Amino acid sequence: FLEGPIEGYIDGKRLAESTACELFGTENTIVVGPSFIYGGKRFPTFGKVYRAFVESFIAKAYVGGNDALRGLSQAPLEDWVEKSLFSSPVEVENVAGVLSAAALGLVTREMVGDRKQGFFDLQGKPIEYDNVLCVDGTQEIERVNKEAVIPRNGVNASSKTNKVIKGVPFAEGA
């Protein structure tokens, strides 16, 4: 994967990750990578509409057609901008659930596996990321949120079945 179009953004993320690893160690660092987060009180339906669009047949056909055309080219196959624009957004409750579970030490290597590698800079040199716990993408965030059982009000319950902590709705005000 080539980072070209968003190199400065990626450099900032890489610096933040390396700083977290230096401060807390790789075994105590987790990276959560949603593409686009929606929900809460602001624009409550936009994310759902956008997700329906990017998961529609026409959007998938468009991305698939472009991928096929890129396959005929000598240029790098990955288009980060297009992949970002056509990535499914994720609900804020799912991201909050994963972050809460991570803070409680409930996200494990067995849940997420090793960190994805195979990224290259603009000069084509490989970039090696630290093998921190990494939950990346909408489907992975939703899966880990369902698997991580967070104790709430003294009871173990998944974030989907018990959204109230001491009378305050989960992720209120997001």
- What pLDDT sits at residue 77? 52
DSSP of 126-152, one letter per residue?
A: EE-----EEEESHHHHHHHHHHS-EEE
- What pLDDT sits at residue 46? 83
- What pLDDT sits at residue 8? 74
Please state whether beta strands 37-38 and 90-91 pair in parallel, antiparallel, or not at all (unpaired). parallel
Give yes or no for a contact between 33 and 135, defined as CB atoms under 8 angstroms apart.
yes
| Average pLDDT for runs of 10 along the chain of length 174 | 61 87 90 84 81 90 83 62 77 92 90 79 75 89 88 55 45 47
Model pLDDT for residues 125-160, shown as the tens digit of each residue: 777 788 888 998 889 999 999 998 777 665 554 444
- What pLDDT sits at residue 97? 93
- What pLDDT sits at residue 1? 47
